[in-house]
Structure formats: structure tokens, C-alpha cells
Copies of this chain bind each other. A is one copy, B any other.
Amino acid sequence: MKKIMIVDDDQHINEMLRERLTEEGYEVTAAYSGTEAQMFLSGHKPDLILLDLMLPGLSGEELMMQIKGVPVIVLSAKADIADKVGLLRGGAADYMTKPFAMEELLARIDVQLRKAEAAADGNVLRFQEISLDTDTHTVVCDGNEIRLTRTEYAILKLLMQKPGQVVAKLTILESISEDTPDCTEDSLKIHIHNLRRKLKAAVGKEYISAVWGIGFMLTEAS
């Protein structure tokens, strides 16, 4: 569950935001002054901060300087462009002028959160209980990591990119020809066999089925 912090001295706006964001499934913390926010942030790290600029105590600009590693969306009544420019250059992730449409704010929040997640997560292909992470180059099956060789990994990745579709033997050979130039249909046979063996050892299932004369594919078999 993502944690969002609201920093705004306007009680009405603050509560409205909290209600709506809670509805959306976020864990919300509210602060009504810069110093209050500062205090909270010294001990916690939310995933995103909604920050009003006109704050009693520590100003929003000052607070922003101190925030590192958490995306900040600035909410402000100041509509003039000079401020926008300064803020965006100053490190704000995004900017919205009051009054704003709640739906747009939600969308922008979503963007910032997903961006942070994408940086941490990476690209993962999934097929039933198999997941293949192209960043860490690992394959996990039902929680257990499976050790695959370079070629086995390349083949499985190819199949998982087109789940349920036949991938021609020649396509596979071509695709892995950079790594293993002298791979023939004979050796491909072995790689497929080893792949099946390793997958079956992890979960007792057959995933890879052969299509006679054409190639191989992932299926939802038993």
C-alpha cells in the first residue's frame, strides 16, 4: 500500500484530499505546517508528497529543498509562470494550480508512483507461476529460483514474450545465434529438454509443448 503525505494548511482542502486518497486505497498522512511535515519526515518516508507552498512556519520552498528521494507534487494558488519554472527547476516532480480537478491529480499521482516503482522493479515477464526478470536475469517458479543457462534463458524468454503462440524453430535459432552461433536443431532439442526438466523439477507441470514440424510454444497444460 502506497503512502502519501499531504502538506497543506488549508484544513478544507487537506481533509478533502485525505478522504479521496484514502478511498483510492492510499495510506495518507496529513500535516498542516512546514515544521510538522519536517518532523514527520525525519522519522518516516512516504512514497509521495503533496505540498502546498503557502505554509505557516517553514515555507514549502524551504521544505522542498530538504526532501530527497521522494517525488513532490506541488499544489499552489500561484498561477503565474515564473513560479512554475522555478519550482520545476527546483526539484518538484509535478505542479498543479488550485483549484484543480481531482481526477487529474489522481492521474498525476499515479504517474509519479509508477515511475518510482518502475525504477525499482524492472521488467518482468509472467506466465502462470513462472516469472522471468530481464533485469536480474533470473527465473522464479512458485517462489523458487531456477538456474538456467544462457541459452535456456534466451529460449524461455522468447517463448514467454509470445505466450500461447507458436515460435518457429528457425526463429529460436536465429534469436539465440548471437550467443551460440553453431546451435542446430539437434542441440535446440536438448536445450528444450533441459528447460522442461528444470521447470518440471520446480513445479510438476509441462509448460512447453511441441508443434509438429513448426516449433514450440507455452501452453496452459497440466
**Interfacial residues, chain A to chain B (CB-CB below 8 A):** 81-82, 84-85, 88-89, 92, 94, 101, 103-104, 106-108, 110-111, 119, 122, 135-137, 149-150, 162, 164-166, 179, 211-214, 217
**Once the chains bind, are B150 and A212 in contact (CB under 8 Å)?**
yes
Q: Find chain B residues with CB under 8 A from A162 CB.
A: 135
18 extra interchain contacts, Cβ-Cβ under 8 A, other than A88-B108, A94-B94? A81-B101, A81-B103, A84-B107, A85-B104, A85-B106, A88-B110, A92-B111, A122-B165, A135-B162, A135-B164, A135-B166, A136-B164, A136-B217, A137-B211, A137-B214, A149-B213, A150-B212, A150-B213
Residues of B within 8 A of A111 (CB): 88-89, 92
Rounded to whole angstroms, the CA-CA distance of A13 and B214 in the bound complex is 52
Contact partners of A122 in chain B: CB under 8 A: 165
Q: How far is the CA of A89 from the CA of B136 in the complex (A)?
A: 24
**27 CB < 8 A contacts A-B:** A81-B101, A81-B103, A82-B103, A84-B107, A85-B104, A85-B106, A88-B107, A88-B108, A88-B110, A89-B110, A89-B111, A92-B111, A94-B94, A122-B165, A135-B164, A135-B165, A135-B166, A136-B164, A136-B166, A137-B166, A137-B211, A137-B217, A149-B212, A149-B213, A150-B212, A150-B214, A179-B213
Bound form: Cα–Cα A119–B116 in Å = 11
Measured between alpha carbons, how far is A162 from B135 in the docked complex, in Å? 9
Instruction: Chain B residues near A85: list those with CB within 8 A.
Output: 103-104, 106-107
Smallest Cβ-Cβ distance to A94: which chain B residue = B94
- Residues of B contacting A106 with CB < 8 Å? 85
A138 to chain B, nearest CB (A): 9
Which residues of the partner chain B approach A89 to less than 8 Å between Cβ atoms?
Answer: 107, 110-111
A104 & B119 in contact (Cβ 8 Å cutoff): no
Q: Which of A81, A103, A149 has the most CB of B within 10 A?
A: A81
Across chains A and B, which 7 residue pairs bring their CB atoms closest together, nearest first?
A: A150-B213, A85-B107, A135-B165, A137-B166, A88-B111, A88-B107, A81-B101
